[in-house]
């Protein structure tokens, strides 16, 4: 009996080693942005844009930049002294940090743009995509994807116009005026691969998480343990990413 308890205790300790302390729920906006960025990079589909967070971090960075510039100016007026040297060093360290955060801001926006471009026609031409578009993309991003799609399809159609009638559409393999919804299969639109495999790390114990249902209505469920890392289909546990605070994260 006590052996079993020990074993369970060991397993728990091992799982805890998996947890990255820095990734525990934190209040710092920068850490939250970093997490949003990691999640955005690893998830096959578009995540909600962390607008408020981006703004908060941007304002903080700008304030810090101004403060550092001011300090450098007053130092210059004062002329160099012994205590200035250590202040200068501190400032350098802070500049490095400011730059890292700016890189994070840029990389976050770039990651999103890359994903938007890859699935531009999915966002504009499919029903599911349009829903995602209005719920997860910022206004500027929506504008971007519209213009991008126009530029791409104009470019394609400019070449495809040489083909016989019916084959000139940039998004459909073959389209006639008789085409119905059943022929949607001919659409060449790449969708986010939500069935691709990703690594989940669970931050909380989740008991009896329902993973699926078979034809008879029986449900499959698993008990998820805090700290466990699991390779699974993205679609299986994606809902846990969106709880607040998230019960799972991608690694």
Partner 1 sequence: MASTSFGKKACELVREIAESEAGTLPPYNQDLMRTIADQCADHGEAMQTLAVQINEVNDAEDDGAEDADAREDKTGSLRTGMFAHHQAILRNKRAMLVYLNERMNRIKDLRWQIGTGLPDNVSSNLSHGERAFFTKYSENLNEYMREVDLNLTLDLEPPKHHKIQVRCLEDRGELFTRDGSVDLKRNTVHLMWREEAQPLIREGVLEQLDDDGC
Q: Which residues bind partner 1 (CB under 8 A)?
A: 58, 69, 92, 95-96, 98-100, 102-103, 105-107, 109-110, 113, 117, 140-141, 143-144, 147-148, 150-152, 154-156, 158-160, 162-165, 167, 170, 173-174, 188
In the bound state with partner 1, the residue whose beta carbon lies nearer, of 128 and 173, is 173
* Listed residue (27, 51, 29, 26) closest to 101, CA to CA: 29
Q: What is the DSSP letter of 163?
A: S
Choose between 12 and 100: whose C-beta lies nearer to partner 1.
Answer: 100
Calculate the CA 215 to chain-centre distance.
33
The whole-angstrom separation of Cα 33 and Cα 237 is 22
Burial of 175 (0-12, 13-18, 19+ CB in 10 A): middle
| Closest distance of CB 156 from partner 1, Å | 6
Q: Which is nearer to partner 1, 68 or 222 (CB)?
A: 68
Phi-psi region of 79 (alpha: psi -120 to 50; beta: other; left: phi over 0): left
Instruction: Compute the least distance from the CB of residue 214 to partner 1, in Å.
Output: 38
Least Cβ distance, residue 49 to partner 1 (angstroms): 10
- Number of alpha carbons in the 13 Å side-chain half-sphere of residue 98: 17
Find the shortest distance in angstroms from Cβ 109 to partner 1: 6
Tell me whether residue 180 or residue 218 sits nearer to partner 1 (CB atom).
180
Q: Which is nearer to partner 1, 63 or 163 (CB)?
A: 163
Of 56, 50, 72, nearest to 246 (Cα)? 50
Least distance to partner 1 from the beta carbon of 78, Å? 17
């Amino acid at each position: 009996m006590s052996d079993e308890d020990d074993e369970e205790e060991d397993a728990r300790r091992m799982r805890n080693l998996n947890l990255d302390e820095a990734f525990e729920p934190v209040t710092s906006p920068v850490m939250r942005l970093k997490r949003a960025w990691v999640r955005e990079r690893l998830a096959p589909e578009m995540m909600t844009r962390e607008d408020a967070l981006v703004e908060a971090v941007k304002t903080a960075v700008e304030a810090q930049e101004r403060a550092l510039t001011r300090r450098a100016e007053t130092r210059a007026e004062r002329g160099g002294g012994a205590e200035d040297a250590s202040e200068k060093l501190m400032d350098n360290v802070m500049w490095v940090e400011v730059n890292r955060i700016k890189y994070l801001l840029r990389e976050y926006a770039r990651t999103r743009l890359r994903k938007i471009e890859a699935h531009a026609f999915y966002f504009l031409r499919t029903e599911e995509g349009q829903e995602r578009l209005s719920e997860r993309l910022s206004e500027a991003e929506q504008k971007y994807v519209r213009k991008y799609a126009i530029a791409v399809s104009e470019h394609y159609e400019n070449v495809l116009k040489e083909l016989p009638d019916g084959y000139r559409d940039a998004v459909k393999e073959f389209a006639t005026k008789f085409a119905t919804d059943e022929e949607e299969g001919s659409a060449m639109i790449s969708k986010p691969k939500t069935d691709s495999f990703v690594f989940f790390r669970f931050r909380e114990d989740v008991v009896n998480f329902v993973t699926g249902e078979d034809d008879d209505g029986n449900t499959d469920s698993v008990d998820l343990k805090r700290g466990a890392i699991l390779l699974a289909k993205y679609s299986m546990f994606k809902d846990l990413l969106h709880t607040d605070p998230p019960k799972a994260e991608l690694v």
